[in-house]
Structure formats: structure tokens, C-alpha cells
Structure 1
Amino acid sequence: MNIYSALQIGDYHLNHCEDFLITKSIGSHKILCAVMDGCSTAMESQFASALTGKILRKIALGKNYEEMYRTDNRNTIEEELKDILKQLFTEILKVKNILLLDEKELLTTLILLLYDQKENQGIVLCIGDGLVCINGKITEFENGNKPDYFTYHLKEDFEDWYQNQTQIIIFDDLQDISIATDGISTFFKVKKADTEESIDPMNYICIDHEYHDSGEMLFRKLKKLEHRYGMKPTDDLAVIRIIK
């Protein structure tokens, strides 16, 4: 199984890439992946996405130790993801209070992917906008550019909030999966192309298998889109792809 990832600043952004991503193993057979997209109209939104990613990395490390010393964990894949998300809420609220952060400093979308290689099953939860592609089937989540950021709900009852989440996909028999921030849909011809051929950047990044034998597959695809087809994402892009 190969895991690829790429992060690219959008062509319309000058100072910071406001997206962030992580991939982290949990135990010997689980993988946690996440992509975040900070709110451009908020305050220092690159901080919100990076902070969320760093906290998720910490949670994954804690889960790793649990997997090493516990043999009786019978949680379902959804229960595992729910617990990770609940810990994220707790940690974000703790940091908010310690640093006296404004809510506008914590706004970021979040796509969480948890995959169990042993059971060959997984779950994806999208909070806000983004894209999920499972075995060639693309699902785009779009909220009219007004995502319901999870940090709006930090002080609410977590169980009540979680029950209202509808952007959840549970899957099995995985062959190929991608998760990406909504920058995946913003490719635009920004310079003269080397060819008159047309290409669908979304399909090329999430479905096409060119360069799959290289760990830099996604970066090579992004460079080819730029230099051969003259296309770059105008918004920041974070993408993770797993191919079995």
C-alpha cells in the first residue's frame, strides 16, 4: 500500500498556504489521514489548520501507545473516529482558553480519514467543504462557501453535535482513496500551455495512476499540470491519496 500527499499554495494567495495535512499510523494496521483548509476571511487562518493538524498528530501518537498495550479494543471504525474527534474538541478548547484565542483564529474545515488495513474498512468524515474519492467515485461536499466550522461548536454537547453530522462515508474493499480540500476544484489555466490537449485535473490527481510507482506521484502530477497544461489551483490545495 502506498500513501501519497501534496500541499500547494494557491496561485491567488501571496503569503501563506492556509491548508495543512497529516498522515499518521495508529498501531500496526490503522492509518489516520486529515486535510484542513483555514478560513481565508478569518484571522491568520494558516494557524488554525496547522494547529488542528498538530493536535491530531498528538492524538494519533496517544492512540499508538494504546494499541501497543491494549489487546481488548473492540471499538468499531466509527467509534474510533468519533473518539479521535472528541479528543480534538477537548484539546482545541483547552488551547483556546490558555491562549485566549478569538473564535476567528480557529476556523478551519476538516476531512478525517481512518482506515483499518487488517479489516479493509474505513470511514471518512468531512466537516465543511472538500472532496472524497473512493475507488474512482468522487463525492464533493460544498456548503455555498459558508462551511459550518467545527470550532463554532466547541462549547456544545459533543454527542448532540456529532449526531447531526451527515457528511460521513463508511467503506470497505478499498483499492484507491483520495481526500482533498476544495482547492482541488479551482484549477485554472494561468499561463500558456505546451499542448492543446485538455485534461480534468480532479480526475488526473484522484483517479489516474500515472507516476504511481513514485513516492512523489502527486507532486509530479501537479508539476505536469502546471508546465504541460498551464494549470494551477487558484486556491490552496492539500491532498492525500492511498493506493493499495
Structure 2
Amino acid sequence: MNIYSVLQIGDYHINHCEDFLITKKIGSNKILCAVMDGCSTAMESQFASALFGKILRQISIEKGYKELYETSQVDSLEDELKAVLKELFKEIIVLKNHLMLDEKELLTTVILLLYDMKTDKGIILSIGDGLISINGKITEFERDNKPDYLAYHLKEDFEEWYANQTQKIFFSQMKDVSIATDGISSFTTVKKINHNEKMDPVNYLLTDTENIDSEELLSLKLKKLEHYYGMKPTDDLAIIRITK
């Protein structure tokens, strides 16, 4: 199994990349991946994305330790993802109060992927906008660029909030799965090229197998899109792609 990832600032952004990503093993059999996209019109959006990512990393590490030293009943994959989200929800509330953060400092989308290597099953949950590719089938979640951020719901009961989450996809027999922030849909031509070849950046990045043996798969594809096809994302971009 190969895991590729890339993070790139959008061509229209100047100071910070407001996207973030993490990939972390949970115990010996599971992998948690996440991509975050901070709200550009909020406050210091790069902080929100990085904060969510750091908390998810901490949760993954702690769950890995518990798996080593505690004997517990086997939960379903969705139950495990829900437990991760519940912990994220709780930690964000604690930090919001401790650091006296404004809601606008916590606005970021989150796409979570939890995959069990032993059972070859996975689940993806998108909280806000983003794009998912599962074995060649692409699903885009988009709410007219008005994502329903998790931070809007911190005062709600977690169980009720989670029950209303519909942007959820289950998969099995993984061959090629990707999660990406909505920056993947923002590619535009930034310079003239001396040929007439056309390229769909979404399919090229998420399903095409060129350079599949390189650890820098996604970076190489972004460079080719820029230098050969004259295309760059105008919005920040975070991608995680897993192949078997």
C-alpha cells in the first residue's frame, strides 16, 4: 500500500496556505487521514486547519497506545470514526474556552478517512466542502461555497449533531482512494502553452497512474500541470491518495 500527499498554496493566496493534512496510523491495522480547509473570510484560517490536524494526530496516537495496552470489544469502523470525532469535538471546545477563541478562529472543513487494512474496509466523512475519489468514482461535496463548519455546532449535543451528518461514504476492496479539499476544483490556466493538449486536473491527480511508483507522485503531477499544461490551483489544495 502506498500513501501519497501534497499541500500547495493557491495562486490567489499570498501569505499562508490555509489547508492542512495529516496521515497517522492507529495501532497496527488502521490508518486515519484528514484534509482541512480553513475559511478564507474568517480569522487566521491557517490556524484553525493546523489546530484540527494536530488534535487529530494526538487522538490517533492515544488510540494506538490504548490498543496496545487495553483489551476492548471490537467496534465497527463507523463507531471508531465517531469516537475520533467526539474526541475532536471535546478538545476543540476545551481549547476554545481555554484560549478564549472566537468562532471565526475555528472555521475549517474536515474530511476524515478511516481505513482498516486487516478487513480492507473504510469510511469517509466530509464535514463541509471537498472531493472524494473511491476506485475511480468521484464524489464532490459543495454547498455553494458556504460550508457547514464543525465550529458552528460546538454548543450542540454531539450525538444529535453526528446523527445529522449525511456526507458519509463506506467502501471496501480499496484500490485507489483519495480525499481532497475543494482547491482541486480551482485549477485555471496561468500561462500560455505551445500545444493543444487538454487535461482534467481532478482525474489526473486522483485516478491517473503516471509516476505511480514515485513517492512524489502528486508533487510531480502538480509540476506537470503547471509547466506543461500551464495550470495551477487558485485556491489552496490538500490531497491524500492511497493506492494498493
Report deviation, 1:194: 4.4
Q: What is the TM-score of this pair, normalised by structure 2?
A: 0.99
Q: Which runs of 5+ in 1 are unaligned?
A: none
- Aligned counterparts, 1:98-113, within 5 A: 98-113=98-113
Q: How many correspondences in the alignment?
A: 244
Q: CA RMSD in A?
A: 0.7
User: Which residue of structure 2 aligns with residue 12 of structure 1?
Assistant: 12
List per-residue Cα deviations over 1:174-194 (Å, max 9, x = no partner). 111000000000100001224
SS, match of residue 229 in structure 1 = coil
User: Which residue of structure 2 aligns with residue 35 of structure 1?
Assistant: 35
d(CA) in 2 for partners of 1:18, 1:102: 17
User: Which residue of structure 2 aligns with residue 123 of structure 1?
Assistant: 123
CA contact (8 A) 1:5 1:238 kept: yes
List per-residue Cα deviations over 1:63-100 (Å, max 9, x = no partner). 11011123433100000000000000000111100110
Amino acid at match of 1:8: Q
User: Which residue of structure 2 aligns with residue 185 of structure 1?
Assistant: 185
User: Which residue of structure 1 aligns with residue 222 of structure 2?
Assistant: 222
1:83 aligns with 2:83: yes
- Aligned counterparts, 1:1-244, within 5 A: 1-244=1-244
d(CA) in 2 for partners of 1:109, 1:155: 17
- Quickly say closer, same or farther: Cα 1:74–1:222, change in 2 above 3 A: same
d(CA) in 1 for partners of 2:194, 2:219: 19
List per-residue Cα deviations over 1:2-24 (Å, max 9, x = no partner). 00000000000011000000000
Q: Which runs of 5+ in 2 are unaligned?
A: none
d(CA) in 1 for partners of 2:194, 2:117: 41
SS, match of residue 72 in structure 1 = coil
SS, match of residue 215 in structure 2 = coil
Amino acid at match of 2:112: L
SS, match of residue 184 in structure 2 = helix
- Quickly say closer, same or farther: Cα 1:93–1:192, change in 2 above 3 A: same
Which deviates further from its counterpart, 53-62 or 185-194? 185-194
d(CA) in 2 for partners of 1:66, 1:79: 16
Amino acid at match of 2:82: K
Structure 1: 4+ residue segments shifted above 6 A = none
Same amino acid, percent of matched pairs: 70
d(CA) in 2 for partners of 1:70, 1:207: 39
Report deviation, 1:195: 2.8
d(CA) in 1 for partners of 2:190, 2:73: 51
List per-residue Cα deviations over 1:13-53 (Å, max 9, x = no partner). 01100000000001111000000000000000000000000
